[in-house]
Amino acid sequence: MNVLEVKGVKKRLGKREIIKDLNLTVEEGEIFGFLGPNGAGKTTTIRMLVGLIAQNEGDISICGHSVQKDKEEALRYVGAVVENPELYKYLSGRENLMQIARIRGVSKEEVEELIELVGLKDRINDKVRKYSLGMKQRLGLAAALIGNPKLLILDEPTNGLDPSGILDFRDIVKKAAKEKGMSVFISSHILSEVQNLCDRVAFINKGIIQSVEKISDNSVETELDSLTLKVAKDEVKAVTILKTLGNVRDAQIKENEIHIIIEFGSTNIVLKELINKNIEVEEIYRNRSELEQRYMELVEGGMR
């Protein structure tokens, strides 16, 4: 079941098109990462998902309900932390949560479970104005989880957290997704956290999704292969040949090695072509596809 479906969504500000034909789905219990540089359209997308702004074209549906046509019903399934959590600083952490719990008809027992889950038990009765930024992030996450939403939307949720706080946050999100069958849509600029946390990731740039790929064993499952090869001589000639091949996306010389990006499964074709052109290949091996490398390929226009 798809908890979130985004179909043909476009968003314009004046004459400028910010989001261009956005399509994606998030399945039940899936943790879905959303990556891109500043200005790529991440925040605009999230603001549309939670109904803060409307798209110009296309449709966004949550649990089968259109955000544009049936906003109240669609957002009933959503918990979100967008930018900085909105909290009453003059109230305690517990009082903030109970305000939301009363509106949503949630029991005090469930609130206590969430306080335990996000690790605020020792400070929950303090006024929020005394909280650090990291503590506010934890409280905001607890608030978003009230009512057991089907979809949790998080925009840069680890801002202000120290390394141990980031690890705790990762465990909280994984536990929520696994135990509650909750889907998570998370936008973050910390690539290592996305790689350790997410099941799939979408790369967005200039309002267009460049690719949506699975993450398995902390490695990206991609339609492209990253290879390193060493040749006996004529490295420049080898790169020139590689760049003429239709299944080679990029080829660069780095420290006496040639790094190439090719279509998945075409290694033998590339190797045969080099040999036919009298290039003596001494060594060739596949690189593990890390998220950082894939980000550079798709978003920054090539390898570094």
Q: Is the pLDDT of residue 302 over 70?
A: no
Please report, for the domain that includes residue 126, its CATH number.
Answer: 3.40.50.300
Range picked from 7-21, 244-258, 281-295 for highest mean pLDDT: 7-21
Q: Indicate if 35 and 134 belong to the same structural domain.
A: yes
**Token reading at 297:** 């390929």
165 lies in the same domain as 241: no
CATH number at residue 236: 3.30.70.100
Q: Are 229 and 283 in contact (CB under 8 A)?
A: yes
pLDDT attached to residue 287: 66
Q: What pLDDT is recorded for position 298?
A: 67
What's the average model confidence in pLDDT over 232-240? 88
Question: Which tops the pLDDT comparison, 233 or 288?
Answer: 233
Q: Are residues 165 and 230 in the same domain?
A: no
Q: Are residues 40 and 173 in the same domain?
A: yes
- For residue range 237-283, list pLDDT tens digits in order: 888 988 898 888 888 888 788 888 888 778 888 888 888 888 888 88
Residue 303: the pLDDT is 47
Residue 275 resides in a domain: yes
pLDDT at 219 over 90: no
Percent of the chain with pLDDT over 70: 91
Give all strands of the β-sheet with 200-205 in edge-to-edge order: 78-81, 151-155, 183-187, 31-35, 200-205, 208-216, 219-221
119 lies in a domain? yes
Alpha-carbon gap, residue 184 to 180, rounded angstroms: 11
**115/232 same-domain check:** no
Instruction: Inform me whether the pLDDT recorded for 127 exceeds 80.
Output: yes
| 143-180 confidence digits (pLDDT tens) | 999 998 999 999 888 776 777 777 888 888 888 788 77
Domain-located, residue 35: yes
The yes-or-no verdict on residue 289 having pLDDT over 60 is: no
Domain boundary among 197, 219, 241: 219
Please check the confidence at residue 70 and state whether its pLDDT lies above 60. Answer: yes
- Residue 223 pLDDT: 62
pLDDT tens per residue across span 75-95 = 999 999 876 677 899 999 999
Does 167 share its domain with 279? no
155 and 257 both lie in a single domain: no
> What integer pLDDT is reported at residue 37 of this predicted model?
84
For the ranges 86-95, 114-123, 169-178, 212-221, which has the lowest average pLDDT? 212-221
Mark whether 99 and 199 lie in a shared domain. Answer: yes
Per-residue pLDDT at 300: 63
Nearest CA among 60, 196, 270 for reference residue 186: 196
Q: What is the count of structural domains for the chain?
A: 2
**Lookup: tokens for 135:** 């503590």
Predicted TM-score (pTM) of this structure: 0.74
Helix (H) or strand (E) segment spanning residue 229: strand 224-231
What is the sign of the dihedral through the CA atoms of 70, 73, 77 and 81? positive
Domain with 259 in it: 223-288
In a domain, 181, yes or no: yes
Say whether both 207 and 279 belong to one domain: no
Once rounded to an integer, what is the mean pLDDT over residues 297-303?
Answer: 60
